[in-house]
Amino acid sequence: MPALDKVLVANRGEIAVRVIRALRETGRKAVAVYSEADRDALHVRLADEAVCIGPPAPAQSYLDVHKIIDAARRTGAQGVHPGYGFISERAPAARAVEDAGLVWIGPSPTATAQLDDKIEARKVAHAAGVPTIPGSDGAISAQDARALALKVGLPVLLKAAGGGGGKGIRLVRDAASLEADLARAAGEAQSAFGTGVIYLEKCVSPARHIEVQVLGDGEGKAIHLGERECSLQRRQQKVVEETPSQALSPEVRERICRAAVAVVERVRYRGAGTVEFLLDQEQRFYFLEVNKRLQVEHPITEAVTGVDLVRAQLDIAETGRLPLGQDDWQPRGHALQLRVNAEDPWQGFAPSVGRVTGLRLPSGPFVRVDTALFEGAEVTPHYDSLLAKLIVWGRDRDEAISRWAAAARAFHVGGVRTTLPLAPLLADDEEFRRFRFDTEWLLPWVERARRSAGALPAEEAEAVAVAAALATHRAARRAAPDAKGQAGPSPWVLMGRREALGG
């Protein structure tokens, strides 16, 4: 295997900063790439070298693998670390990097392609003896969809075979609308993912979203590093993650982790990845998909295992061997993470843009902040809304929650609205404290919190009031006709950022 003395980081934001720091710690040099919008970004400042690869639009910069390969060649980088989002799960990108004689720090193009198609991934899980959600074995027609929906029971989900990151999913509650929903889903999938293939699954609800962290050597051997609880979501996008999950009995935890290993060993998986499952109320779990990259929430696994997952990725890519065995780690304590997004939870998680006019990061024992923010940084509509990740560890869940709430209160980002107020409010909620939630719980809870603004602590109540006033002002501006007499959509809608990024 070639030595990785210099690695190009094909990403931006907090994950680029995270990877660059791991490269520095391991004595390697880092090459950053950046769009014109990110010229002054922190990952550019931290890298040993930096190359501009185009305009702000992702398709002309961070998604252009040929520009990335050219930057690697020009700087003498031997490998490419894709982070998450952008090109990280694109088999053609991985193949182009390897064909250029560079090391792709991720799963092989073959494994990526096999797991990227959700129908093929279901077949892999079947072959590995892992349960999947009742549904179609492949692409489904309108006639077959109606019959299968009645057989497995409504509601059902129509899913894009090429989807991911919570996108390309349509919920169907009425068989009468199934044909029209299927046609709309196919059109949306074709536009978003380049394939209109749709399959059907029974909707498991209420359910929990459980994922298992895995490492594979690319030769058929893999280990797991425990599970993460990711049920606090809004529209299939994760907001809060924690580990371990208190929903799992020891026996179910053992089975679900072994199932995850069986799936990735089946495809000779290389590097870090995550196998995702749904868990129903009877503790039955079902395979969902494999995220073929480093996850946004990887720091909480690092907190309870003591394993540096980015360093593990680098070691596997360089040596072809796992850096540890299954029995070489033991979980310790409890960890939580809040995704600090530039979004206003009190206004339907509406996006927020602007210049960071004040920044105060929390600190103290067992508090970690992964971010690329700095005073004066510009939050633009061009990319994903993730600004930072607040991660805390405690000896048990109660201690971790208390530390998490205190850290969130100490965390200040001026100039934009964020999801930071959620952590202290969740910490005071009895259902959250008692682990009584599922994948459908968060949005109704946020709405109840919004309606109860008068009962909130002064700081949160003021934040809700200001957010409401800003939302009213912005709505009035959006309603005003543009120069052509048409009401203009928001920049976020036009940009369609989430079609390009996962997480």
**From CA 12, how far away is CA 86, in angstroms rounded?**
10
Angle among Cα 447, 453, 458 to the nearest 5 degrees reads 140
The answer to whether residues 497 and 383 touch, using CB atoms and an 8 Å cutoff, is yes
Q: 452, 491, 193: which is closest to 342 by C-alpha? A: 491
**From CA 213, how far away is CA 227, in angstroms rounded?**
6
- How many Å separate Cα 268 from the centre of its chain? 23
**From CA 323, how far away is CA 12, in angstroms rounded?**
27
Q: 365, 376, 403, 372: which is closest to 389 by C-alpha? A: 372
For residue 95, give both structure tokens: 């193949």
- State phi, psi for 219 to the nearest 5 degrees: -115, 10
- How many Å separate Cα 445 from the centre of its chain? 22
**From CA 257, how far away is CA 275, in angstroms rounded?**
9
Specify the amino acid at residue 435. Answer: F
Angle among Cα 480, 484, 486 to the nearest 5 degrees reads 45
**From CA 254, how far away is CA 466, in angstroms rounded?**
47
Residue 176, number of CB atoms within 10 A of its CB: 10
Q: 14, 109, 9, 15: which is closest to 62 by C-alpha? A: 9
**From CA 175, how far away is CA 155, in angstroms rounded?**
9
> Catalytic pick from 90, 266, 293, 403?
293
Residue 87, number of CB atoms within 10 A of its CB: 24
In the three-class reduction of DSSP (H, G, I as helix; E, B as strand; rest coil), residue 262 is classed as helix
Q: 454, 386, 444: which is closest to 420 by C-alpha? A: 386
The order of strands in the sheet holding 79-81 is: 49-52, 29-34, 6-9, 79-81, 103-104
Strands 285-291 and 222-234: unpaired
**From CA 403, how far away is CA 424, in angstroms rounded?**
10
Strands (E), 410-453: 412-414
Residue 21 among the catalytic residues: no
For residue 206, cis peptide bond before it (omega within 30 degrees of 0): yes
The answer to whether residues 269 and 216 touch, using CB atoms and an 8 Å cutoff, is yes
Residues designated as active site: 293
